[in-house]
Amino acid sequence: MASNKKLLILPGDGIGPEVMREVRRVIDWMDRRRMVSFDMKEDLVGGAAIDARGTPMTDATMESARAADAILFGSVGGPKWDKLGFDMRPEIAILRLRKELDLFANLRPAIVLDPLVDASTLKADVIRGLDLMIVRESTGGIYFGEPRGVETLPDGQKRGFDTETYTTNEIERVARVGFDLARKRQNRLTSVEKANVMQSGLFWRQVVTALHQREYPDVELSHMYADNCAMQLVRNPRQFDVIVTSNLFGDILSDLASMLTGSLGMLPSATLGAPDASGRRHALYEPIHGSAPDIAGKGIANPLAQILSFAMLLRYSFGMDEDASLIERACTNVLASGLRTADVMAPGTAKVGTSVMGESILRELDKLAA
Ligand code: NAD
């Protein structure tokens, strides 16, 4: 069947190819059962590309990424390549994709699935039913701002410095992603900065407020200082629907929020670029975990973060909400049935490996779609 859905699959290193194999089975299932097909291409990135081609990502792979409607990324890196020079690090692949496709909005859901409510370090009462989304600006701010460096002062001391900078456009485009997401959820957006002590924070707040009045008056907007947000995320995380924030604060708060759920092997993410005139935008989907060299090749990795990243891809790049929900429900049901990979084991559950988990998801999909 001809398909206008161009998908580039980049499994990468370590457990990347192992968990991606399970996504391919879900894609095959969709092809058979849902009559949805993708124009799919698979390629090497990271250490695998260094070994085969001498570079973490070839220009040809970059061209395929540019042509794709969506990219499903595994993970890159591992001890084998740790001693290579700065330009030969496997991570160059993901950094290059983010930079050249201008993927500026990183979306990290923090969802607590009922069967895993005890995996969190927080009390079940605090996190049961948690479903929040953090939108982190990911191409600007202090990680990229100039000037930056280390200088020697007249008295011989040294001084290290970085610069937080944000333009109106950079703030507006990421805030729009937050507002648009809020509209599809509970219609509430919290914008997070440090307007009390940072000029760039005050500016951020003014730009978001003006955008809200101009384009999104129907969305409930609140502002919060980043330090308070960190505290509130631990105290009462369910008060949030969508959070939008800068690169630096988003880096910290999204890691904090993901750990509320207690399980690295379960967490997907998306990074979106700016829409063009036709509404098409580059987008990359990946689990938040790395290549887990300590368990690679053992067949025990949890494939759910990668499968849930694919569900996000269906929802945000192709508007296939129903199929995305079906896959998410299948994951929840399999966990509820008591099957677990080692990383999310709990007393009274049965341990399974990567491929049995994948098979169980397919069986559950069969049931749900019957
Ligand atoms: P990691 O996420 O790979 O692993 C941390 C721990 O979590 C390990 O004990 C691992 O076994 C476990 N774990 C991770 N994913 C799991 C899964 N799906 N199922 C079961 N257990 C899982 O982080 P790390 O050890 O700090 O990094 C390992 C390598 O991955 C490094 O080379 C790092 O640079 C790279 N990395 C890549 C990305 C990326 O490609 N975007 C992101 C993070 C780390």
Q: Check pLDDT > 50 for residue 129.
A: yes
- Chosen domain end from 210, 235, 267: 267
Residues 124 and 257 in one domain: yes
Q: Check pLDDT > 90 for residue 86.
A: no
Residues 237 and 127 in one domain: yes
The token duo for 165 is 């900078």
Residues 123 and 182 in one domain: yes
The pLDDT score that the predictor gives to residue 2 is: 46
Q: What is the pLDDT of residues 286-318, one digit of tens each?
A: 999 999 999 999 999 999 999 999 999 999 999
Burial class (CB in 10 A: 0-12, 13-18, 19+), 203: middle
Q: How many domains does the chain have?
A: 2
- The CATH number assigned to the domain holding 154 equals 3.40.718.10
Residues 172 and 30 in one domain: no
Residues 170 and 300 in one domain: no
**Alpha-carbon span 289 to 261, nearest angstrom:** 13
Spot the catalytic one: 43, 194, 285, 316. 194
SS3 for the chain, per residue?
CCCCCEEEEEEECCCHHHHHHHHHHHHHHHHHHCCCCCEEEECCCCHHHHHHHCCCCCHHHHHHHHHCCEEEEEECCCHHHCCCCHHHCCCHHHHHHHHHCCCCEEEEEEECCHHHHHHCCCCHHHHCCCEEEEEEECCCHHHCCCCCEEEECCCCCEEEECCCCCCHHHHHHHHHHHHHHHHHCCCEEEEEECCCCCHHHHHHHHHHHHHHHHHCCCCEEEEEEHHHHHHHHHHCHHHCCEEEECHHHHHHHHHHHHHHCCCHHHCEEEEECCCCCCCCCCEEEEECCCCCCCCCCCCCCCCHHHHHHHHHHHHHHHCCHHHHHHHHHHHHHHHHCCEECHHHCCCCCEECCHHHHHHHHHHHHHHHHC
Residues 228 and 289 in one domain: no
The pLDDT score that the predictor gives to residue 61 is: 98
264 alpha carbon – ligand 1 mean position (Å): 8
Domain range for 257: 112-267
**Alpha-carbon span 61 to 38, nearest angstrom:** 18
CA 86, 269, 288, 163 torsion-angle sign: positive
Instruction: Kindly state the average pLDDT of the residues 12-20.
Output: 98
Chain mean pLDDT for the chain? 95
Q: What is the pLDDT of residues 204-248, one digit of tens each?
A: 999 999 999 999 999 999 999 999 999 999 999 999 999 999 999
Torsion of CA 52, 299, 305, 17, to 10 degrees: 20
Residues 255 and 140 in one domain: yes
Residues 277 and 262 in one domain: no
User: Is 17 within 8 Å of 50 (Cβ atoms)?
Assistant: no
**289, 340, 351: residue to mutate for ligand 1 pocket, most atoms within 8 A of CB:** 289
Q: Check pLDDT > 80 for residue 20.
A: yes
Name the closest-CA residue to atom 42, ligand 1: 290
Active site residue 321: no
Residues 350 and 314 in one domain: yes
Pocket of ligand 1 (CB under 6 A): 15, 19, 75-78, 91, 94, 264-265, 286, 289-295, 301-302, 305, 343
The pLDDT score that the predictor gives to residue 363 is: 98
Q: What is the pLDDT of residues 184-206, one digit of tens each?
A: 999 999 999 999 999 999 999 99
Instruction: Kindly state the average pLDDT of the residues 69-88.
Output: 93
The pLDDT score that the predictor gives to residue 121 is: 87
Q: What is the CA radius of gyration of the chain?
A: 21
Active site residue 143: yes
Name the closest-CA residue to atom 4, ligand 1: 292
Residues 91 and 117 in one domain: no
Spot the catalytic one: 80, 131, 143, 162. 143
User: Is 306 within 8 Å of 337 (Cβ atoms)?
Assistant: no
The structure tokens 């200088």 sit at 151
